[in-house]
Amino acid sequence: MFVALVLLGFFGWWISFQSIVEDQGTSVQWFGGTYGIMALIGAIIGFFAAKKWGGYKTVLGKALILFSLGLLAQEAGQLIYTYYVYGVKVDEIPYPSWGDVAYFGSVLLYICAAALLTKVTGIKFSLKRVKYKAVALLVPLALLATSYIVLLHNHEYDFSKPVTVFLDFGYPMGQAIYISIAITAYLVSRKLLGGVMKSGIVLVILALFIQYISDFSFIYQNSRGAYIPGKFVDLIYLISYFAMTVAMIKFHTIYNSLNSKTDTSNPNDTKAGDTAA
Amino acid sequence: MDIYAKIVAKIIEQQESIIGPVAIEQAKRVAQLKIDWPQHKVDLSGDPQTAIDQLVEQYKELFGQIAVETCRDAVQTMLASLPKEQIPSTLK
pLDDT per position as a tens digit, B26-83: 999 999 999 999 998 999 999 999 999 999 999 999 999 999 999 999 999 999 999 9
3-state helix, strand, coil in chain B (%, to 5): 70, 10, 20
Average pLDDT score over chain A: 89
Put simply, whether B45 touches A (Cβ < 8 Å) is no
Put simply, whether B17 touches A (Cβ < 8 Å) is yes
ipTM above 0.95 for this complex: no
Put simply, whether A195 touches B (Cβ < 8 Å) is yes
Most B CBs within 10 A among A52, A62, A192, hence the mutation to make, goes to A192
Which of A52, A195, A259 has the CB atom closest to B60's CB atom?
Answer: A195
Given a contact cutoff of 8 angstroms between Cβ atoms, the answer to whether A119 and B69 are in contact is no
Question: pLDDT over 90 for what percent of chain A?
Answer: 60
Q: What are A213-240's pLDDT values in tens digits?
A: 999 999 999 888 888 889 999 999 999 9
Task: Tell the burial category of A86 from Cβ atoms under 10 Å away from its Cβ (0-12, 13-18, 19+).
Answer: middle
- Where residue A54 falls (left for φ over 0; alpha for ψ -120 to 50; beta otherwise) is left
Cα–Cα distance, A23 to A80 (Å, whole number): 22
B49 to A115, A216, B46, B52: CA distances (angstroms): 34, 52, 9, 5
Q: What are B19-31's pLDDT values in tens digits?
A: 999 999 999 999 9
- What pTM was estimated for this model as a whole? 0.91
Residues of A in contact with B21 (CB under 8 A): 54
Put simply, whether A197 touches B (Cβ < 8 Å) is yes
Which of A57, A59, A268 has the CB atom closest to B28's CB atom?
Answer: A268
Q: Which residue is closest to A59 within chain B, CA to CA?
A: B18
Cα–Cα distance, B23 to A192 (Å, whole number): 19
Confidence check: pLDDT of A264 > 50: no
Residues of A in contact with B17 (CB under 8 A): 58-59
Cβ contact A53–B17 (<8 Å): no
- The pLDDT of residue A275 is 35
Pairwise pLDDT comparison (A157 vs A101), residue with the higher score: A101
Sign of CA dihedral B47, B49, B51, B53: negative
Q: Virtual CA dihedral for A17, A20, A21, A27, nearest 10 degrees?
A: -50
CB environment A106-124: b (16+ within 10 A), e (fewer):
bbbbbbbbbbbbbbbbbbe
Q: Which of A40, A41, A43, A62 is nearest to A51 (CA)?
A: A62
Residues of A in contact with B35 (CB under 8 A): 268
Which of B29, B31, B61 has the CB atom closest to A195's CB atom?
Answer: B61
Cβ contact A258–B18 (<8 Å): no
Cα–Cα distance, B17 to A231 (Å, whole number): 44
A154 to A58, A148, A159, A269, A270: CA distances (angstroms): 44, 10, 15, 65, 68
Which of A120, A268, A273 has the CB atom closest to B35's CB atom?
Answer: A268
